[in-house]
Structure 1
Amino acid sequence: MLKAEYQQRGPVPQDVIAAVPFDLPELGAGEARVKVLAAPINPSDVLTLTGEYGMLPPLPAIGGNEGVGRVEAVAADVEGLKPGQMVLLPVGCGTWRSHLQVKAKQLIALPEADPLQLAMLTVNPPTAYLMLREFVDLKPGDWVIQNAANSGVGSYLIQLAKIRGLKTVNVVRRESAIDTVNAEGGDVVLVDGRDLHKRVREATGGAAIKLGIDAVAGQSTDHLAQCLAEEGVLVNYGRMSGEPCQVTPSSFVFRDVTLRGFWLAKWFQKASQAEQMQVFGELIGLIAQGKLKTRIGATYDVSEIQQAVAAAAAGERDGKILVVPK
């Protein structure tokens, strides 16, 4: 058995984590032993290793916040869960490992479907789903604009918008990403720049865009703000640029644009169990039916965790990096 553990944080994320062997104790009451099938590496995971994320686990820690596994054994008193079932792993349990042992009631049974796609259920799909739902009352035919459209969240947002009958303007930071976003169904795909609002107006026929989704921050926040209609809402959920959000007063003063923030961890804290299950139930169904998926760039064994983290932290990659224990 292997786990990807880090005992310190530092500016180069792959340098602080390593694969180390471990053993699990005998099953205790109410427990289940699970073989991990797949666990993604998200931008938030990289920021956790560098110490820049908003919520940091105590050290030493095992990397990984989401994933799926298959039950290998359950304690004698466990009901409703049996060996062989595919399950969703508990959020934040340290999923970059070959096996784990948790209370059976923390596991959610999943339908038999692609484990690589189901492994990404907990973070990116609900982030895209909730940003489309929580801030603006969008109707079929409405437009949404987002940057980082070639990211995992960006991919899910395009697909979820299309399911709802919404249209998307998708902004990327390099020409080489255009074809990928076009292939995923983006209605309009443009490279970011100071004249973005002019090109968006031309491409959409002057449509009133009510919602903007920003993952880049820096000047890119203002580029999106200039594209929004009066009283539009701009939601920031990341800072890929490494810079703070920048918005000129003209967007706030003359067009009453609102800048909001979204953090999935906060939503989990406030949402009821019923609300969480409603969201996950819908997303699980879409993923199991193949209606919701994202690109996979590469998979790595736990023993290759340093290469995996380096690949995930790289600026130019095409698809999600996952830890897939052999």
Structure 2
Amino acid sequence: MKAARLTKFGAPQDSIHVVEEEVGPLAPGEALLEVLVTPINPSDIATIAGLYGVLPKLPGVPGNEGVGRVVQVEGEAPVQVGDLVFLPMGSGTWRTHMKAKAQRLLPVPPGKDLLQMSMLSVNPPTAELLLSEFGKPQRGEWVIQNTANSAVGRYLISLAKLEGIKTINVVRRKELEPELKALGADVVLEDGDGLAERVREATGGAKVMLGIDAVGGSATLRLGDAVSAGGTVVHYGSMSGKAATLSPAALIFRNVTLRGFWLVPWFNNTPRETQAALMARLAKLVGDGTLNVPVDATFPLENLQEALARAMEGGRQGKVLLTPVKR
């Protein structure tokens, strides 16, 4: 098999290369999978650079999600050869073949777009749980998020629209407004000074009890100032590389709370049946087009460096995906 081997943290061209590896024999209860599609997520880029909050032991293989096909099973297992399955989260998916415990494998619904399904395990559950785990807004209530044009941001807009929740979507480029409005965004604002005042003007002074932050630094501070007294800001990413912070006015005088969220503990601590139910619901929404993220480009694993360069470019029009094995 071939795999993307990360040997040190730093610039991709110096730290990660495609190498040949042996798969090795299967243990009882294991399955061998062909990796069909696996995305490049911002957390993968941060991991390669050594900037992610939890770093793997080296050498290792990056990649946290995707879809694959079962090509071999050892012993009794809930999957069969030929089944399409979601790759276990965080299992090092940037490779042509991988082994996995068969009990961890969840089926991909038949007849679905595998490019969209390959992005199902990380960003859609993140968006769903950000909306539901921190005092879920009710129909007609408001939530504010930054990086609204990201994959999580787009999913969150669509999921909120389904529930009748109104969204304030903060972006760095105002020209994204028509695109996000077409998804169902209620308000789109450019980030920067005076954000809290502009939020109050756009919403008629409505309460905004939940803020969702993927940037950190001053961007978190601006969200905290825009959230109403007693509200919560949930920090799930740090694209700026800076610590999330709230202003003294928000923290002390308006009792705004800053929380953190990471998807991995939820998957580790949640029963498989609950995970399967969430994935099935989200897969249905992806399958019928309710949840959809544009794909910018696909690359074979051999073109990993080109794929990483594209994934790190600004102004992309969607996600970059790896296709290690032809479907």
Shorter-chain TM-score bucket reads: over 0.9
User: For 2:226, what is the secondary structure of its paired residue?
Assistant: coil
CA contact (8 A) 1:14 1:309 kept: no
Residue type of the alignment partner of 1:256:
N
Aligned to 1:6: 6
Question: Identical aligned pairs, as a percentage?
Answer: 48
1:157-176 counterparts in 2 under 5 A? 157-176=156-175
Task: Select between 159-168 and 258-267 the one with higher mean Cα deviation.
Answer: 258-267
User: Which residue matches 1:103?
Assistant: 101
Q: Distance in 2 between matches of 1:296 and 1:229?
A: 36
Give the TM-score normalised by the residue count of structure 2.
0.93
Residue in 2 that maps onto 1:240: 239
Corresponding residue for residue 121 of structure 1: 120
**How many angstroms does 1:181 deviate by?**
1.9
Q: Unpaired runs of 5+ in structure 1?
A: none
Q: Within 2, Cα distance between the matches of 1:315 and 1:237?
A: 21
> Which residue of 1 is the match for residue 278 of structure 2?
279
Do the aligned residues in 1 keep the contact of 2:127 with 2:155 (CA within 8 Å)?
yes
Deviating more after overlay: 65-74 vs 140-149: 65-74
Q: Is the 8 A contact 1:67 1:88 kept in 2?
A: yes
Give the total of aligned pairs.
Answer: 324
Q: 3-state SS of the aligned residue for 1:54? A: coil
Aligned counterparts, 1:51-62, within 5 A: 51-62=50-61
Gaps of 5+ in 2: none
> Please, which of 78, 81, 88 is the counterpart of residue 90 of structure 1?
88
Q: Which TM-score applies when normalising by structure 1?
A: 0.93
RMSD, aligned α-carbons: 1.8
Letter of the 2:5 partner, please give it. Answer: E
The 1-side partners of 2:277 and 2:266 are apart by 13
Residue 37 of structure 2 contacts residue 67 of structure 2 at CA under 8 Å; is this kept in 1? yes
Q: Deviations over 1:111-161 (max 9, x none)?
A: 121111111111111111111001113211111100000001101110111
Q: Distance in 2 between matches of 1:88 and 1:247?
A: 38
What's 1:17 paired with? 16
Q: How do residues 123-162 of structure 1 correspond to structure 2 at under 5 angstroms? A: 123-162=122-161
- Cα distance in 2, alignment partners of residues 136 and 13 from structure 1: 39
Contact 1:68–1:89 (Cα < 8 Å) also in 2: yes
- Counterpart code for 1:7: T
- In the superposition, relative to structure 1, how do residues 271 and 83 fare at CA in structure 2: closer, same or farther (>3 Å)? closer
User: Distance in 2 between the 1:31 and 1:263 partners?
Assistant: 27
Question: Match for 2:109: what amino acid?
Answer: P
Task: Tell me the amino acid that sits aligned with residue 138 of structure 1.
Answer: P
By how many angstroms is 1:229 displaced? 1.4
- In structure 1, what is the equivalent of residue 186 of structure 2? 187
